[in-house]
Structure 1
Amino acid sequence: MTSATVTLLGAAEVSRPPAWRARLVEFLLVGGATLALFPLAWLLRRAVGLDPAELAVGFLTFHAASLINDPHFAVTYLLFYKDARRRALGGELAPVQRARYIAAGLLVPLALFAWAIAALATGSARTLGFMIQLMFFLVGWHYVKQGFGILTVLSARRGYRFSPTERRAVLAHCFAGWAYAWASPADPGREVAEKGVVYTSLAHPPGLELATGIAFGASALALLWVLARRWRAERRLPPLEPLAGFLITVWLWTVYSSLDRLMVYMIPALHSVQYLYFVWLLKRNEAREAEGPPSFGKPTALRLGVLAASAVALGWIVFRGAPAFLDTALVLGASAGETTAGLGETPYFAAIYVFVNIHHYFMDSVIWRRDNPDTRYLLHTS
């Protein structure tokens, strides 16, 4: 068999659609489950009323976070800091990518740590409130960029590639959605509480909401135009699963995330499942390659099992064990009159939660770049 034949067979394998069951599972994992959960949430609310339904969903998602949301944050640390020194200081990566590793792996956490310590040491809810607002500002960026990855990578696995113009249109829609989600609704600046921390929110004037809304609508029309042009030229559209995952991420998880009060509790878990699916693709294909010759490494199932267990354990330590210990020892055990007014009874939980979220966004933006050679495993379809 010639190398040209192998290449042609490989291309055919990439373009061959998987079994319908696998495609259905992928559709649900990358966001399609949202479409089923909306009517279920409506039925639950209709059956028992809003307050009991909200209590039940909140209880379920809080405890499910130990197996879904928290490991999704923890596994980012396991991926990012594996061989981090070699990646940041060695010659394997381009200088720009090495600089990104140093920034996300060292400079960002140092800055966040100093920020959080300053807020806790001074008992300043205002200082920690600014950190919380930075988290809320960046979370939309994180969501839409993940949606962009879902669309482009899973489409490439089906043999569908976006042109530079199409990529720019997709990214414009992502960033316009992020901007509109942050600016909406208009906010004159009000007192709010998050994780027990009481602070005054930054003002979002109505003009900003209007401008970003117009930009979001225009970007949607631009995206529709480039896809229609592709259809006219080739009679092809992006595959259903990644396209649906992308649109659900931008529209239902980012821009209109408050459409249903019960779904507000479920969207972070759905986002985490979407993320963990990509981690599974990456590490499964990497493990399969290492399992064969010449390495003959550990079985794929064992590698994935160890990674999953490590992520669950680290997630529990970061979000449950460590904050509970610190808040119990340093806040609840402190005498009255300590400088924690406005920070609530769990300021360490709030600080750690915000720190990990923001750091996760920056690490994620480095791990999943095309510059990272490990991302080649995402395109393996075997």
Structure 2
Amino acid sequence: MTLHLSADAPVSVAPQKYLFGPFIDFFMLGGSAFLLLPILFLVPLKHEGLVAGVTLLLANLINHPHFAHSYQIFYRNFARKVRGDGYDRNLQIRYIFAGIVVPLIMGAFFAYGSLTGNARLLGYATNAMGFFVGWHYVKQGYGMLMVDAVLKRKFFKDQDKKVLLINGYAVWLFAWLQTNAVITERQFWGLDYYTFAVPPWVLNIALAIAAASSAATVVMFVNRWRKHGGTLPYNGVVAYVVTLYAWILFVTINPLWLLVVPALHSLQYLAVVWRYQTNVERDRADAVKDPEFKVLSILGPRYRLRVLTFIIAGTILGALGFWLVPMALTALVPYDKQVLGSSLFLFIAWIFINVHHYFLDNVMWRRGNPEVSKYLFR
């Protein structure tokens, strides 16, 4: 989630202390890292394979629906968004660009690379995915802090927000450069790609900037804590810190941790999306009525059933987008597997969804989006 929300929420928005509750917010927004990381370090070597399989399965079950939910929300009433009905001109253009132009450009890129058998060109897409995923993580961590600040009515000044953003970009850029410190050949779904050589002096400068911005962020948090009677939007702070340092900078600290992080990132996203969707469904005229079928009355009012339907639909769409459709295309569409690998369409689907997801969220969760103001903070 690329949240561009400002903590300067309008006073007319009713305050809400938590998305779901103090413990659930802490766990879903990033606090689960403090519980899981120590456990992963204690896993005996002989059980690492089993734990890796379980964590990878859980990551898929949590990670893929979070991508699907972004499509469900973004393309809901998309014609109205394209027309600009209820959206300002700037937001209308962003919806058109992210929803139509970006997928067309990406589709043309993958089509050209596949039809010409240009494996090296397609490999660059993997580098792009790594670039955008890191950027996306940073903006989501920052966004979670802003959301929690609004809910707790502990707003950040513009200067403080600049410190947070600069630090986020500095840490992410250093981490990304660090992965490209030497030219190495790697594979993603059977297709080779290359990282870029980064001179040591560039890496040292990036490290110095990241360290300085981190120190400035600590000072800013301490000053705010003192000025506001020893309080902060703690769950948001945890989300910001964990995202930058545990999920980006030190993500390779443990091989199992590398597998778990995408699931935790998705859990963070789902906390906001599920709250948002719950408020959308509660806004319907018949939200509190019992379900039509009596057998479903155990679930409570209709809005709960609709939220559950939204989650199930996201799970199915995630499975289709990441696995079922690309696997079917790989089996049915002939191409040069010696050049492009045995899983071309899995390669395309995973990169397309990951990169496009960044552009979708960059539009949906912006300050000024009327739906965000209406449904996220109520």
| TM-score above 0.5, yes or no | yes
Alpha-carbon RMSD across the aligned residues, in angstroms, is 2.5
d(CA) in 2 for partners of 1:134, 1:115: 13
Report the residue type matching 1:134 in the other structure.
A
Deviation at 1:18, TM superposition (A): 6.1
Matched with 1:24 is 23
**Residue 316 in 1 paired to residue 310 in 2?**
no
Deviation at 1:62, TM superposition (A): 3.2
Deviation at 1:118, TM superposition (A): 1.2
Q: Which of 112, 116, 138 is the matching residue for 1:122?
A: 116
Q: Is the 8 A contact 2:138 2:172 kept in 1?
A: yes
d(CA) in 2 for partners of 1:196, 1:185: 20
Q: Is the 8 A contact 1:72 1:275 kept in 2?
A: yes
Q: Is the 8 A contact 2:18 2:148 kept in 1?
A: no
Matched with 2:343 is 346
Q: Which of 184, 204, 211 is the matching residue for 2:205?
A: 211
Deviation at 1:293, TM superposition (A): 8.7
d(CA) in 2 for partners of 1:257, 1:66: 18
Matched with 1:199 is 193
1:9-20 counterparts in 2 under 5 A? 14=15
Q: Is the 8 A contact 2:59 2:262 kept in 1?
A: no
Q: Which of 184, 190, 195 is the matching residue for 1:190?
A: 184
Deviation at 1:318, TM superposition (A): 0.7
Matched with 1:249 is 243
Matched with 2:331 is 328
Matched with 2:304 is 301
Report the residue type matching 1:56 in the other structure.
L
d(CA) in 2 for partners of 1:294, 1:309: 21
**Residue 80 in 1 paired to residue 81 in 2?**
no
Q: Per chain length, whose mean CA-contact separation is higher, i.e. which structure has more relative contact order (CA < 8 Å, sep 6+)?
A: 2
Q: Which of 144, 153, 156 is the matching residue for 1:150?
A: 144
Matched residues, percent identical?
Answer: 30
Residues 248, 116 of structure 1: alpha-carbon distance in 2 compared, 3 angstrom cutoff? same
**SS of 1:103 mapped into structure 2:** helix
Q: Which runs of 5+ in 2 are unaligned?
A: 1-10, 292-300
Residues 291, 221 of structure 1: alpha-carbon distance in 2 compared, 3 angstrom cutoff? farther
d(CA) in 1 for partners of 2:18, 2:73: 28
Residues 236, 199 of structure 1: alpha-carbon distance in 2 compared, 3 angstrom cutoff? same
Once the two structures are superposed, residues 25-68 of structure 1 have per-residue CA deviations (whole angstroms, 9 ceiling, x without a partner) of 21011111111111111111xx244xx40x22332233324421
Deviation at 1:228, TM superposition (A): 2.7
Deviation at 1:300, TM superposition (A): 1.3
**SS of 2:21 mapped into structure 1:** helix
**Residue 61 in 1 paired to residue 55 in 2?**
yes
d(CA) in 2 for partners of 1:312, 1:58: 22
d(CA) in 2 for partners of 1:318, 1:116: 16
d(CA) in 1 for partners of 2:12, 2:210: 39
My pick for the range that moved more, 102-111 or 339-348, is: 339-348
Matched with 1:36 is 35
Residues 186, 71 of structure 1: alpha-carbon distance in 2 compared, 3 angstrom cutoff? closer
Residues 219, 291 of structure 1: alpha-carbon distance in 2 compared, 3 angstrom cutoff? farther
**Residue 229 in 1 paired to residue 228 in 2?**
no
Q: Is the 8 A contact 1:144 1:175 kept in 2?
A: yes
Residues 188, 67 of structure 1: alpha-carbon distance in 2 compared, 3 angstrom cutoff? closer
Residues 31, 293 of structure 1: alpha-carbon distance in 2 compared, 3 angstrom cutoff? closer
